[in-house]
Structure 1
Amino acid sequence: MKRDELGDLVAFLIVAEERSFTRAAAQLGTSQSSLSHTVRRLEERMGVRLLLRTTRNVAPTEAGEQLVETLRPAFNDIRSRIDALSALRQKPAGTIRITSSRHASETILMPVVKRLLAEYPDINIEISNEPKLIDLVAERYDAGVRLGEQVEKDMIAVRIGPEMRMVVAGSPAYFEKHPKPQTPHDLTQHTCINLRLPTLGGLYAWEFEKDGRPLNVRVEGQFICNDVPMIIDAAVSGLGLTCLPDDHLEKFIAEGKLVKVLEDWCPPFPGYHLFYPSRRQASPAFALLVDALRYRG
């Protein structure tokens, strides 16, 4: 069947149901004369009269009634299937791939993911914990989670966590043997635990700021590691001072296993953000995840 033949059948069905060329033309967004021409063309092609026209009324002939009975269930089925597709398009479904750090996944992503997966069985979420930054487009990720200062400017960034601070801390046993540092410069006299950065492999330079003046300090010590939990364990064991984001250490500080120092040199900085390409078309599932993760504290 050609495209214009299908259009002619639709036009006839609407005229027959409305029993009016005027109302049918308004519904189809065309003129009465054009619609009348369409029906005549259909009648000529089928070789049978389909509509009886009077000055006051339009009614299907017997052949027209048979055609209506044939077309109506078919087009109703098409409408219902299109409506079902529209509903499916609005239903949260599909797979969302996210690259993140392990700590952000454990503390921020997973509580939300557990709830969404329980409430929306058609959503699938894949989380890949990577210590280094990933090219979302090249690696085909939908979004990433990183600290706000690590997000590229051409990305849309949504804050999903509170501000953070770097914390310098050591165990009570360590401070029984060493005086607490009063300024970052004093760290050169202390044993410190270095963090090996995953991206380029260098050592993290401890970052400080006071009165708007930044200060980076290269520290030294016997232990170097690229794993945060192991660094915390080493600090709790008294092997030296550590410098990590506050949310890694707050539990150990609250339990008295670590003691904070240099607090006035550690201003807040942007916490975790969900970021994704600005050109990304947001699916209902992705929009739902973004809204659920958005920080409102």
Structure 2
Amino acid sequence: MAKTDLNQLTWFQAVAEERSFTKAAAKLGVAQSTLSHAIKQLEARMGIRLLTRTTRNVATTAAGERLLQTIAPRIGEIEDEIAALMAFREKPSGSIRLTLSDHALESVVWPKLKPVLNTYPDISVELILDSTFRNIVEEGFDAGVRLGESVEKDMIAVRIGPDWRLVAVASPGYFAAHGVPEHPQNLVRHVCINMRHETAGGLYAWEFEKDGQALRVRVNGQLTFNNSYAMIDAAVSGYGIAYVPENIVAQHIASSLLVQVLDDWSPFFDGYFLYYPSRRQNLPAFKVIVDALRFRG
């Protein structure tokens, strides 16, 4: 068999992982017809079918899946080594891909990244906002950001922010009309603004704690979001009580747009951590990002 084109292997990996010629072509920056022709050449050279194609999707055959599992980690290692060689440049460079929530971005990550990007113009950062728990290795991320309690044990975790808590808030008009809850269990009789956890697929049960007593309350209301900022806007507009991060609602409380209740029942959570597999830690550009985000108290 003729020597395999490494470029074709990289393109095959992209198609197999994206399960789409269209998406893979866009990711690679090549024409779809060029990509399709290259994969057909690879299959012809190897004498086996690697992909099954239908009008709607693309899937790997048994042979294709075996090839993908063989080449993916090796191509990843080659890319990492090439990136590590960039340490010999005067300034670190490269692309860093992170998955994180909108709250983590606004409250911790973006304020720390802005000066770094000005200092290191050759470092590119892609930020994917998502509240689900992504598999950063399988999905091609360099790192993710989660609360400390949610980080997998086999990952390196670096604290990037302080502990924080959720607080229950509503507009003055809402409390004037419906009364003020004196205990978390009173919330079941109130109109509340729900948060959907995309990973679990269900609604978040509000967590409270006081004097060692922990409570989880499932609330009801007209509105459900998967975004804290939208919940705050709805609360300001009088649609009910929201349970949202204290640091992004503090200004609304200070200006009396919102009123905080059940303060002594609102516990602190572990702050945000940057987590990543050990093989990423020696890349110069990644080191710059980790050092910039690191929490220093």
Q: State TM-score, norm by structure 2.
A: 0.67
- Deviation string 1:180-208 (CA, Å, 9 cap, x unpaired) is 11111111221111112222321110111
CA RMSD of aligned residues (A): 1.8
Partner of 1:19: none
Give the partner amino acid of 1:133.
F
Q: Distance in 2 between matches of 1:148 and 1:194?
A: 23
**Structure 1 residues 140, 90: CA separation in 2 closer, same or farther (over 3 Å shift)?**
farther
Partner of 1:216: 216
Deviation at 1:100, TM superposition (A): 1.0
Deviation at 1:91, TM superposition (A): 4.0
Instruction: State the identity %.
Output: 54
Partner of 2:263: 263
Q: Which moved more, 1:100-109 or 1:210-219?
A: 100-109
Partner of 2:76: none
Deviation at 1:122, TM superposition (A): 2.0
The question of whether the paired residues in 2 share the 8 Å contact of 1:90 and 1:284 is answered with no
The question of whether the paired residues in 2 share the 8 Å contact of 1:113 and 1:125 is answered with no
Partner of 1:155: 155
Deviation at 1:276, TM superposition (A): 0.8
Superposed, which structure 2 residues align to 1:87-98 within 5 Å? Answer: 88=88, 91-98=91-98
Q: Distance in 2 between matches of 1:188 and 1:281?
A: 47
Larger Rg belongs to: 1
Gaps of 5+ in 1: 1-84
Deviation at 1:296, TM superposition (A): 1.4
Give the partner amino acid of 1:148.
G
Partner of 1:60: none
Partner of 2:291: 291
SS of the residue 2:152 aligns to: coil
Q: Distance in 2 between matches of 1:253 and 1:205?
A: 23
Deviation at 1:89, TM superposition (A): 6.0
Deviation at 1:90, TM superposition (A): 7.6
SS of the residue 1:137 aligns to: coil
Gaps of 5+ in 2: 1-84
**Structure 1 residues 101, 92: CA separation in 2 closer, same or farther (over 3 Å shift)?**
same
Q: Distance in 2 between matches of 1:87 and 1:104?
A: 29
Q: Distance in 2 between matches of 1:219 and 1:156?
A: 36
Q: Distance in 1 between matches of 2:221 and 2:276?
A: 38
The question of whether the paired residues in 1 share the 8 Å contact of 2:113 and 2:292 is answered with no
Superposed, which structure 2 residues align to 1:106-117 within 5 Å? Answer: 106-117=106-117
**Structure 1 residues 88, 183: CA separation in 2 closer, same or farther (over 3 Å shift)?**
same
Give the partner amino acid of 1:249.
V
SS of the residue 1:177 aligns to: helix
Give the partner amino acid of 1:266.
S
Q: Distance in 2 between matches of 1:281 and 1:226?
A: 32
Give the partner amino acid of 1:238.
G
Partner of 2:74: none
Q: Distance in 2 between matches of 1:199 and 1:159?
A: 22
Q: Distance in 2 between matches of 1:105 and 1:257?
A: 24
Partner of 1:164: 164
The question of whether the paired residues in 2 share the 8 Å contact of 1:207 and 1:214 is answered with yes
The question of whether the paired residues in 1 share the 8 Å contact of 2:113 and 2:293 is answered with no
Q: Distance in 1 between matches of 2:87 and 2:242?
A: 53
SS of the residue 1:138 aligns to: coil
Indicate yes or no: 2:122 matched with 1:136: no
- Deviation string 1:115-134 (CA, Å, 9 cap, x unpaired) is 12211122121111112111
**Structure 1 residues 87, 206: CA separation in 2 closer, same or farther (over 3 Å shift)?**
closer
Q: Distance in 2 between matches of 1:271 and 1:223?
A: 27
Deviation at 1:260, TM superposition (A): 0.8
SS of the residue 2:198 aligns to: coil
Partner of 1:145: 145
Deviation at 1:279, TM superposition (A): 4.0
Superposed, which structure 2 residues align to 1:210-289 within 5 Å? Answer: 210-289=210-289
Q: Number of matched residues?
A: 213
Q: Distance in 2 between matches of 1:138 and 1:87?
A: 26
